[in-house]
Structure 1
Amino acid sequence: MAESTDKKNVYRVEGFTCANCAGKFENNVKQLPGVQDAKVNFGASKISVYGDTTIEELEKAGAFENLKVAPEKAQREATADSNKEEKEPFYKKHSTLLNAALLIVFGYLSLIVNGEENLITSLLFAASIVIGGFSLFKVGFKNLMRFEFDMKTLMTVAIIGAAVIGEWAEGAIVVILFAISEALERFSMDRARQSIRSLMDIAPKEALVRRNGQEMMIHVDDIALGDIMIVKPGQKIAMDGVVVSGYSAVNQAAITGESVPVEKKVDDDVFAGTLNEEGLLEVKVTKLVDDTTIAKIIHLVEEAQGERAPSQAFVDKFAKYYTPIIMIVAALVAVIPPLFFGGDWTTWIYQGLSVLVVGCPCALVISTPISIVSAIGNAAKKGVLIKGGVYLEEMGALKAIAFDKTGTLTRGVPVVTDFNVLNKAANEKELLSIITALEYRSQHPLASAIMRKAEESNISYSDITVEDFSSITGKGIKGSVNGTTYYIGNPKLFKELQTVHFTPDQEQLVASLQNQGKTAMIVGTEKDILAVIAVADEVRDSSMGVIQKLHQLGIKKTIMLTGDNKGTATAIAGSVGVSDVQAELLPQDKLDFIKQLRSEYGNVAMVGDGINDAPALAASTVGIAMGGAGTDTALETADVALMGDDLRKLPFAIKLSRNALSIIKQNITFALAIKLIALLLVIPGWLTLWIAILSDMGATLLVALNGLRLMRVKE
C-alpha cells in the first residue's frame, strides 16, 4: 500500500506509552527508505510522513512498542471498533501485569515459609520479572546495544543489576511498579485526548438526503455539494450548509460554546455537529465532510497539540542530556565509595541501581504535553480554538490587549438609536415611513439601519411613491412625496438651504448626539426641520464587562484601535472602559501601533475580525480572531479564534492559559524536586529500589493528575 511522495500522509498511531517512545518512533520512521521526513504528534497520537512508505514498514518501525498504524481517514471510521476495544475485560487487558503480580504474591508467601535464600522463592520472583518485564527488556536490550539511553534502558540495567546482587524481590517489585506507572501515564494521556475524541463523535456519520424526489440515508462521505438534507427536530446536523426551508432553534454549543440555542431561518448558515431543537429544517450542503467547520476545528486542535510549547522544548532538550547524566551519576555512586572509602560493593551497587530508577524521567517528560493537551481540549469544547502550546503559554503572559472597534467591541451593524420629531404637526409613524421610502432608494451604508427600524415598528414604506429622487454628494438625499420635497442629510445640507431656519436648540441636539458617537441626520422640507434621526454602531452588551474582567486579571493596558473619527471613538471607548483609544487609523497605522505596544509591554494580543485586521493580528504576540465558526479567514490567520463571535470567552481563555502556565511550572518543578530529594537519600545510604520506584511513580501520577485539572477550568 505505497503512498505518493508528493504529499504529506497522516496516520493514527495506537500504543504510545510515553513521549520518549513517540520520539524514538519518529526517528525510526525518518530512517525508513523513501521517507524524507516524519513528525509525531504525541498529543493527538498521529504521525505525519513525507515520502513513500507502507503501513507494514511503519509498524515495523514501531515494533519495539507494538504500535498499530492506520491511515487517518480509515481510523476515523473505526470509532466503533475502538469502543469495542475499550469494553475488553480488565483482566484480559492487563493479564501480563496481573500474572506477574500473582507470582510476586506467591514469591512473598514462599519467602515467609522457606526464607530468602530458597531456590523456589528466587524462581518465583525471577518468573515475575521475566513475565512482567519482557516487553521492557526487549526494548532495553536493543537500546543498550545501540547506546541509546531512555527510561527503558535505565530500568533494564537497574533490574538486571538487582538480579545480579540477589535482590530478586525488589527487582520484581520494580518491574510491576514501572508497568503500573506506564499504564497510569497512558491512561492519563488518553483521558486528555478524550476531549478531542468527543469532538470527533459530535457530527453524525449519516444524513437523510433528498435526491431525485426520494429521501434516503447516505453516509457523509457520499454526500455531494448541493444535496438537500432533511433535519428533523432532535437530530444533529451532519454537514455545513444553508437553510433553504424551515425555521428552528439550533444548539451550537459544540462548535461555538454558546449555551443558548440560535434562531435559524431561510438563508442562515448551519454547522455540522450542531443540534436542531425545534422545527424541521431543509439544508443545502455547502461543504464536503472534510471541509466542514467541525472537521477544521478537529484538525487545527490536533495540529495545535503537536506544536511544542517553549517549556516543552526545554523539557525535551533537558531530557536528552538528563538520562546519560543519571547513568554517569549512578555509576559513580556504585564505584567511588567502595574504591576510595572502603564501602561495601553490594551496598553501593544497590544504591547506584536505585539512582538509576530514581532517574527515570517519566514525570518530567509527561509534565508539559498532558497539560497542553488538557488545556487545548477544554478550550475547544468551550468555543475557543488555541492553535498551539506556544500561544497557550503566550496568552498567559499577556500584558496589553488591543481591540479593533467595529465588529469586536461593537456589533458591526448600524442601528437607529434616536428618533426625535421636532415639528409637532408631523405624525411620527407617517414621517418614518417617508424617511424609509427615501432611504430605500439610497446606497448609503446607514440606510439599512433605518429600514430595519421601520420593519421592527411594522411601518410600511414600499407603497409610498417617491418622485424626483436624487443623491446630494457628501450631504444627503432628496425626493418628493405627495408633492412635498423632503431632504435627509447632515447639518451642512440644511445650512445651505436659505429657506430653513436652524435654531440653536436644534444645533445643540445634533452636537449632543455627535458627542455620543452617533451619526445625526436631519429630516426636513424646504421650509421646516421635521426630525433628527441618529444612527450608531451598537456596542456589544458584553464589551464593558469583558474589559473590566481583563483589568481585574491584571492586564495593564486595553486599547481600542479604529479607523473611525475621534468623536465616535472616544464616546465608545468611554462606554466600554478601555484604558486608551487611537482613532482615524489606517491598517498600516494599526500595524505600527501594535509594534510600538510590543516594544513597550512585550506580550501583546490583538483582537479583530481576522480579515481587515490581518496585518495587526500577525504582528501581535497572539492574534485573536472573532467569530471563527464559518469564517475560514479567522480560522486560518489567527493564533486563537473565539468561535461563537463572543468576546466573553476572552477572559476565560486568558485564565485557562495562566492556569496552564502555572501547572506546567508546578509539574516541572515537582518532577525535578522529587528526584533531587530521592537522590539526596543516597548520602546517608537510605535510598532503596522501593523508595526509588515509588517516588518515580508518585511523581508521574501527581504530574498527570495536576495536568488533567486543566480539563475542569470553567468560564
Structure 2
Amino acid sequence: MKKTNTQEYRLQNLSCANCAMKFEKNVQSIPTVEEVQLNFGAAKLTVKGDASIEQLCEAGAFDGIKVVPASSREEVHIPFYMKKENILAGISLLFVIAGYLMSVLQGEDHIATIGLFFIAIVIGGFTIFKDGFKNLFHFEFDMKTLMTIAVIGAAVIGEWKEGAVVVFLFAVSEALEGYSMNKARQSIRQLMDIAPATALVRRNGELVELATEDVQIGDVLIVKPGQKIAMDGEIVGGMSTVNQAPITGESIPVKKAVGDEVFAGTLNEEGVLEVNVTKHVKDTTIAKIITLVEEAQAEKAPSQKFVDKFAKYYTPAVILIAIIVAIVPSLIVGDWHHWIYQGLAVLVVGCPCALVISTPVAIVTAIGNAARQGVLIKGGIHLEQLGHIEAIAFDKTGTLTKGVPEVTNILALQGTSEELLIRLVAGVEHSSQHPLAKAILNYAENASIIIEKGIDFQSVTGKGAYATVDFQQIFVGSVQWIQELTDIPKDILKEVESLQYEGKSVVVAASKTTLLGIIAIADQVRSNSRSVLQDLQSIGIKNTVMLTGDAKPTAETIAKQLHLTDIKADLLPEDKLEAMKELQQQYGFVAMVGDGVNDAPALAAASVGIAMGGAGTDTALETADVALMADDLGKLPYTIRLSRKTLRIIKENIMFALGLKILALLLIIPGWLTLWIAIFADMGATLLVVLNSLRLIRIQK
C-alpha cells in the first residue's frame, strides 16, 4: 500500500484569522490533498497528500500568503512601506486628502469630489471588495463581507467621503493586526534561530563544514570557544563551560566534561569540545521544543473555544441588528437616509476582528515568553488551568530534594562486615535505576570496593529488588518488604525509626534466611525549595502537599523543613494516582510536580502535570503538560504568575473588544453613530487587544 506523503510548511504574511480559514479551505480543495491542518498561531501548514509549493501559494494568493518548506530558515521580510496592501492604502489616503480639499473648494456633491472619493474607495478597497463579493455570493459573512456591504451602502446613499475614510481606516486596522501577530510569533522565530544551520564535523580525519541536515548520528563535532553547539550529543573530548540558557533558561553556565550531555543551540564558552552526535537534527531537544510550542499554539484554550463559538453567532446577530436599525426606525419616523446610514455603521462596528484575536494573541505571546525562560507549556488549555490551581502536589526525590542521595549510615549485622554488606547490596543494585541504588554504587566506587554484578536481577515495584550475588539470593528494599521475608529485631526497628526521623531513607538487606544489615541514605533538600514554597504561598497557593514513597518519619522531617501543609508517605506509584484523585476532590484544580518517569500516572491525572528537567528527558517532554527545562523549581512561581496574568489579559481583551463596540452601538439611540466612529471603535479595540497582549512579553522570572 502506498504511503501517504505528509509535508510541513511555514507561512508568511498570514495575519488574519478569517483569511487563514479561507486559505485552509482553498488548500483542502486541491484534488491531490487528503488532509490539511493550519496552525494560525505558529503560521504553520501540514498537508497530507501531494501538493506543490506553487499550488499552495496559489491557494493563498488572495491575501498574499507565501509558503516555504518548514526546514527552510529563509524569511522574506517585506518592509512595512513595501507591502502591496499598505501601498494601496497610502495611495487611497492621498485621494481621500485630495477629495477633502476638493470638497472645500467645490462642495461635497461636486462630480470631481465624488470622483476622488470613488477612486480612493476602489484603490483602498480593491482586495476587500474582491473577497467580500465572493463571500456574499456564498453567504459567508466575515469582516470583509460586512465592510463591502457597508462601503457600497454608504456610496449608494451618497456618503462617498465616509466610505473612502472607512476603507482607509480598515486598511490601517488590517496592518495593525498583521503587525501584532508577527510580533507574537517572534518567539518561535527566535527559537528556530537558536541552533546554527551548519556544523564543523570531523570525517575521515578531515574537518568539513556540513548543513545540520547532513550530519549523521555518530559524527564528531568540533566546537570552538564562542561557537554554538549545532547538535545534541555527548562530549568525547575536551572540557568547557556551556551556556544552556537558550534551552533551559539557566543564567549560570554549566561545567561540561567527557561523558556529559550537551544540547543543540547552547553556547560553548571556554575550551574546544569534541561532541559525538546522538540525535538527528529533527530529533534534537530544541527541535522538539519548537514542535511542542507550535502544537501548543494550535491547541485552543477554553476561552478561545468560547470566543470562536460566540463569534459564530455574533456576526449574524450584528447583521440582523443592522437590518432592524436600518428599517424599523425608518418605517416609524421616515428618515430612511439617516437610519440606513446608522445600519451601515452597525455593520462596521460589528466587525469581529478584535474579538477573534483577543485570545490567540495572548496565548501565543505567553507560551513564547515561557519557552524563552526555559518553561515549556504544551497548550493554551494548560496555560489557563495553571491560573486556576488551588493546590500543588510535589514528588520528593529530585523535585523538592536534589535527587542525588548519599550514604550516611551503615549498620552491618550477623557478623557481616560493612565492606561485605556494601558489596552484596551494590551487586544487587548494579542493575537498578533507582536514585538510592546510585548512592550505594557511588559509595562503593569511592571506597574502592570491588563490585560483582548480581545475576537474575528482578525489581519489585515500590518495594525493592533482588539478585544472586556470591551464589546467594540477596534482597534489598524497604523495611516493610524485608519484614515479609524475615524477622527484624525490635532494636533494629528502633534504629531504623530513629534514622527515618532524621529525614533519612533506610534500605534493608537480607538473604533468604538472614538479616544482613541496614544502610541509611539522605537526599539533601534543594537550596531554593523553601523560598519557592514561600513564593507560592505569597501568590495564593495555600495548599502544598508532598507525595512520596519514603517512610512517613522521613517525609515529616522534610515537610517540617519546608513548611508543607500536608504529606502522603509510603506510596507506591498506583497510590500516588489515588492520592492525586483525592486531592482533586478536596481542592478542585491540583497541579503535580514530578520527574516525569516514576510519577507518570499522577502527572497524567493531575489538572496540570509539571515535569522537572525536561531538557534531555524525552519522557518528561511527552508526558507532562508543562516541563521546567532547567530542572529548576524556581521557575514554578513565574509560570503560575504568567498563567494568571494571561487569564487576566484575556478577560480584559474580551471586555475591550466587546465594550468599545457596545459603547459605539449605544450611540444609535440618539442617532450619533457614524461610520467614522464605528471604524475607530473597531480599530481601537484591535489596537487595545494587541498592545494589552504584548505586555506578557515583559513578564520575567
TM-score, structure 2 normalization: 0.88
Taking a change above 3 Å as real, the CA distance of residues 337 and 559 of structure 1, as seen in their structure-2 partners, is: same
Q: Give yes or no for contact 2:409–2:520 (8 Å, CA) kept in 1.
A: yes
After superposition, what is the alpha-carbon deviation per residue over 1:491-527, rounded to whole angstroms, capped at 9, x for unaligned? xx9x98xxxxx9xxx99987654311214799xxxxx
270, 276, 280: which one aligns with 1:284: 276
Q: Distance in 1 between matches of 2:556 and 2:241?
A: 38
**Given the alignment, which residue of 365, 369, 390 partners 1:374?**
365
- The reply to whether residue 563 of structure 1 matches residue 549 of structure 2 is yes
Alignment counterpart, residue 58 of structure 1, candidates 53, 56, 59:
56
- How big is the shift at 1:475? 8.9
Is it true that 1:204 corresponds to 2:200 in the alignment? no
Q: 1:46 maps to which residue?
A: 44
Note the C-alpha offset of 1:551.
1.9
Q: CA deviation at 1:451?
A: 7.3
Call closer, same or farther: CA 1:104–1:23 in 2, change over 3 Å.
Answer: same
Residue 350 of structure 2 aligns with an amino acid whose one-letter code is G
Q: In structure 2, do the counterparts of structure 1 residues 600 and 436 end up closer, same or farther at CA, with 3 Å as the change threshold?
A: same
| 1:331-382 deviations in Å (ceiling 9; x for gaps) | 111111111233x111111111111110011110110000000000000000
**Equivalent residue in structure 2 for 1:148, among 115, 140, 144:** 140
Residue of structure 1 in register with 2:74 after alignment: 78
Instruction: Report deviation, 1:5.
Output: 6.3
Cα deviation for residue 27 of structure 1 reads: 2.9
2:26 counterpart residue number: 28
Q: How many pairs does the alignment contain?
A: 658
Determine the C-alpha separation between the residues in 2 that align with 1:332 and 1:152.
21
In 1, distance between residues paired with 2:447 and 2:195? Answer: 43
The 3-state SS of whatever aligns with 1:324 is helix
Give how far 1:162 is off: 1.1
Cα distance in 1 for partners of 2:79, 2:236 equals 42
What does residue 463 of structure 2 align with? none
Does the alignment pair 1:354 with 2:345?
A: yes
Residue 397 of structure 2 corresponds to residue 406 of structure 1: yes
Is 1:194 aligned with 2:200? no
1:163 aligns with 2:155: yes
Determine if contact 1:436/1:461 at 8 Å carries over to the other structure: no
Paired residue for 1:430? none
Moved more, 163-172 or 152-161: 163-172
1:67 aligned residue: 65
Residue 330 of structure 1 deviates from its aligned partner by 0.8
Deviation (angstroms), 1:552: 1.9
Q: Distance in 2 between matches of 1:463 and 1:639?
A: 43
Which of these residues, 88, 96, 100, is aligned with residue 104 of structure 1? 96
> Secondary structure of 1:682's match?
coil
Per the alignment, do residues 247 and 706 of structure 1 end up closer, same or farther by CA in structure 2, a change over 3 Å counting?
A: same
Residue 394 of structure 1 aligns to which amino acid in structure 2? Q
| Higher mean displacement: 333-342 or 221-230 | 333-342
Q: Which residue is 1:363 aligned to? A: 354
Partner of 2:678: 692
Q: Look up the equivalent residue of 2:581 and give its one-letter code.
A: K
Matches within 5 A, 1:106-255: 106-255=98-247
Question: Separation in 1 of the partners of 2:440 and 2:619?
Answer: 30
Cα pair 1:625 1:634 within 8 Å, conserved: yes
Is 1:392 matched up with 2:383?
yes
Alignment of 1:623-634 (within 5 A): 623-634=609-620
Q: 1:87 to 1:281 in 2, by over 3 A?
A: farther
Pairwise CA distance, 1:278 = 1.0
Q: Secondary structure at the match of 1:11?
A: strand
- 1:592 paired to 2:590: no
Deviates most, 634-643 or 549-558: 549-558
Tell me the equivalent position of 2:607: 621
Distance 1:340 1:447, change over 3 A: closer
Deviation (angstroms), 1:556: 3.5
| TM-aligned CA deviation for residue 242 of structure 1 | 0.1
Match of 2:593 among 592, 607, 616: 607
Task: Give the TM-score normalised by the residue count of structure 1.
Answer: 0.86
Q: Which runs of 4+ in 1 moved over 6 A?
A: 434-438, 468-472, 506-510
What does 1:320-359 align with in structure 2 at a 5 Å threshold? 320-342=312-334, 344-359=335-350
Shift of 1:52: 3.7
Give the Cα separation in 2 of the matches to 1:587 and 1:7: 41
Note if contact 1:5-1:51 (Cα within 8 Å) is conserved in structure 2.
Answer: no
Residue aligned with 1:77, SS = coil
CA–CA distance in structure 1, aligned partners of residues 608 and 192 of structure 2: 27
Q: Which amino acid aligns with 2:626?
A: V
Contact 1:442-1:471 at 8 Å conserved across structures: no
Residues 544/645 of structure 1: CA separation in 2 closer, same or farther (3 Å cut): same
1:319 and 1:215, CA in 2 relative to 1: closer, same or farther beyond 3 A? same
* Contact 1:436/1:451 (8 A) holds in 2: no
Cα deviation 1:584-627 (Å, max 9, x = unaligned): 11111111121222222221211111112111111111111111
Moved more, 43-52 or 588-597: 43-52
The SS at the match of 1:221 is: helix
Amino acid at match of 2:275: V
2:524 corresponds in structure 1 to: 538
User: Which whole-Å deviations, capped at 9, do the CAs of 1:187-235 have from their partners, x for residues lacking one?
Assistant: 0110000011000000001111111111111110111110110111111
Farther off after superposition, 22-31 or 173-182: 22-31
Could you say what the CA RMSD is over the residues aligned between the two structures, in angstroms?
A: 3.1
Deviates more, 1:398-407 or 1:135-144: 398-407
Candidates 644, 648, 657, aligned match of 2:630: 644
Identify if the C-alpha distance between structure 1 residues 448 and 634 changes in structure 2 by more than 3 Å, giving closer, same or farther.
Answer: closer
**Using the alignment, how far apart are the partners of 2:442 and 2:3 within structure 1?**
56
Equivalent residue for 2:260? 268
CA distance in 2, matches of 1:5, 1:150: 38
Q: Percent identity?
A: 59
**CA shift in 2, pair 1:91/1:515, >3 Å:** closer
* CA distance in structure 1 between the aligned counterparts of 2:42 and 2:596, rounded to whole angstroms: 27
Contact 2:425 2:474 in 1 (8 A): no
Deviation of 1:452 (Å): 5.4
**One-letter amino acid of the structure 2 residue matched with residue 578 of structure 1:** L
Pick closer, same or farther for the CA change 1:291–1:447 going to 2, 3 Å: closer
Largest Rg, 1 or 2: 1
Change (3 A) 1:6 1:470: closer
What is the rounded CA distance, in whole Å, between the counterparts of 1:563 and 1:508 in structure 2?
20
Q: Which residue of 1 aligns with 2:656?
A: 670
CA separation of 1:645/1:7 partners in 2, compared to 1, >3 Å: closer, same or farther? farther
In structure 1, the residue corresponding to 2:94 is in which secondary structure? helix
SS of 1:208 mapped into structure 2: strand
Q: CA deviation at 1:24?
A: 2.2
User: 1:222 and 1:439 mapped to 2: Cα distance?
Assistant: 48
Q: In 2, are the aligned partners of 1:436 and 1:450 still within 8 Å (CA)? A: no
SS at 1:600 equivalent = helix
Partner of 2:46: helix, strand, or coil? strand
The amino acid that maps onto 2:374 is G
| Conserved? CA contact 2:608–2:625, under 8 Å | yes
Post-superposition offset of 1:51 = 3.2
| 1:424 alignment counterpart | none
Contact 2:80 2:86 in 1 (8 A): no
Q: CA separation in 2, counterparts of 1:469 and 1:329?
A: 88
Q: Distance in 1 between matches of 2:522 and 2:551?
A: 13
